[in-house]
Amino acid sequence: MKQTYNVNICRQEPLPSPQEVKSELPISSEMSENVFAWRKSIENILSGTDKRLMIITGPCSIDNLDASMEYADKLAKLSQKVSDKIFIIQRAYFEKPRTIIGWKGLIYDPDLDGSCKIENGLRMARKFLLGLAEKGLPAATEMLEPMVPQYIADLISWGAIGARTTESQTHRQMASGLSMPTGFKNTTDGDIQVAIEAIKAAAHKHIFLGVIDDGRMGTFHTSGNKFCHLVLRGGSGGPNYGSEYIAFARELMKKAGISPAIIIDCSHGNSLKKPELQHIPFRDAIKQISAGETAIKGLMLESYLKAGRQDVKPGSPVVPGLSITDACISWEETETLIREAHANLK
């Protein structure tokens, strides 16, 4: 009899169920109340009843828990000083979408050596999110693998669907069931319409397959996510943060029956993939908001303790606080930009 099943599978390993991991690393009642309140604040900012600006900032990817927590300490202190005008959320990205190959993130390869100890990665991600919650910091992450939210979503205040997955039916369905406001990025070529269609799709009810808390496969019936919104991140054609792009996106959203709510990602295409240029879209957006633009609800920065990036090489030490994926701006520049925004916002 010819083998027709698992022909290309070399090995299978069981994982603990989401219920087991969450029982081992539980969210406290106080944390639960805070996450609920943070999500409501984000919803109010998106709807316009809270006039503050969201700023989502942090490492391109979480690679070193100690360095990322040191960053969180600094961000928590700054957040308290600017909270009257700015609502700060820390990036806690554990999964990295790859066009070809490369390190896929802390959840997939927590030891950075190709050993891919996913069970450890899931626990490390949850521990880090618990640490952020203890510091009073809301967390943002990109939702990539549809099973991962079952392990960590109770600690996430803002979610993102990335440029490579915005067009995916699987991710639109998943977003319709997520418990937090979720931003859809424009595609890598800069297409905004695809993201707007995704927002509309995620607002509707869906039924899809997934892993339920006890580890069994099941069907998920969603009510639709009413707080999905647009993230402009530029594209292969160049940046799309300028006032003309905001006006265009605003009108497209209105025609689609969507309340205009836009976050500008200052990295990727909007900085021409040069971290030292992130300040340009950031400052431009602050000027637009100060001039009366109400559709811009938030900004995103890729920022770490040190500026730049590094490659992970076997046998060579990794410099803590220096990105191993996309290059970031330094903490010092991040603080300067956020304080400057606070001073310039009305």
Q: How many domains does the chain have?
A: 1
In the chain, the amino acid numbered 338 is I
SS (H, E, C) 98-149: CCCCCCCCCCCCCCCCCCCCHHHHHHHHHHHHHHHHHCCCCEEEECCCCCCH
- Each residue of 181-226: pLDDT tens digit? 999 999 999 999 999 999 999 999 999 999 999 999 999 999 999 9
User: Are 197 and 171 contacting, i.e. CB atoms less than 8 angstroms apart?
Assistant: no
Looking at the predicted structure, is the pLDDT value of residue 339 above 70? yes
Alpha-carbon distance of 50 to 23, in angstroms, equals 35
As a whole number, mean pLDDT of residues 92-100 equals 82
pLDDT at residue 319, as a whole number: 96
Domain range enclosing 306: 18-266+278-344
Looking at the predicted structure, is the pLDDT value of residue 232 above 70? yes
| Residue 255 included in any domain | yes
State phi, psi for 201 to the nearest 5 degrees.
-65, -40
pLDDT at residue 346, as a whole number: 86
Give start and end residues of each alpha helix (H) in 143-216.
149-152, 169-177, 193-202
Alpha-carbon distance of 271 to 83, in angstroms, equals 26
| Residue 108 included in any domain | yes
- Each residue of 286-322: pLDDT tens digit? 999 999 999 999 999 999 999 999 999 887 889 999 9
Looking at the predicted structure, is the pLDDT value of residue 123 above 80? yes
pLDDT at residue 209, as a whole number: 96
| Residue 287 included in any domain | yes
* Lookup: tokens for 263: 């976050």
State phi, psi for 160 to the nearest 5 degrees.
-130, 145
The helix (H) or strand (E) run that includes residue 40 is: helix 29-47
As a whole number, mean pLDDT of residues 163-183 equals 97
| Residue 55 included in any domain | yes
| Residue 153 included in any domain | yes
Helix, coil or strand: residue 18: helix
pLDDT at residue 100, as a whole number: 61
* Lookup: tokens for 17: 């169920």
**Residue length of the chain:** 346
How deeply is 311 buried, as exposed, middle or buried, from its count of CB atoms within 10 A (0-12, 13-18, 19+)?
exposed
Looking at the predicted structure, is the pLDDT value of residue 99 above 70? no
Percentage of residues of the chain with pLDDT beyond 70: 99
pLDDT at residue 101, as a whole number: 74
Alpha-carbon distance of 241 to 151, in angstroms, equals 34
CATH number at residue 111: 3.20.20.70
Looking at the predicted structure, is the pLDDT value of residue 98 above 90? no
Closest by CA to 239, choosing from 253, 249, 229, is: 249
| Residue 6 included in any domain | no
- Please calculate the CA angle 160-241-82 and round it to the nearest 5 degrees: 70
As a whole number, mean pLDDT of residues 245-254 equals 97
- Please calculate the CA angle 253-167-223 and round it to the nearest 5 degrees: 70
Alpha-carbon distance of 306 to 217, in angstroms, equals 42
pLDDT at residue 105, as a whole number: 94
| Residue 249 included in any domain | yes
For residues 184, 189, 190, 196, the Cα torsion angle rounded to the nearest 10 degrees is: -40
- The rounded mean pLDDT for the chain is 96
Terminal Cα distance for the chain, rounded: 73
pLDDT at residue 169, as a whole number: 97
CA distances from 35 to 27, 153, 187, 192, 246 (A): 10, 10, 29, 30, 30
As a whole number, mean pLDDT of residues 252-264 equals 97
pLDDT at residue 192, as a whole number: 97
- Each residue of 23-69: pLDDT tens digit? 999 999 999 999 999 999 999 999 999 999 999 999 999 999 999 99
| Residue 273 included in any domain | no
Closest by CA to 229, choosing from 198, 268, 266, is: 198
238 Cβ partners below 8 Å, 6+ apart? 190, 269, 272
Alpha-carbon distance of 274 to 267, in angstroms, equals 8
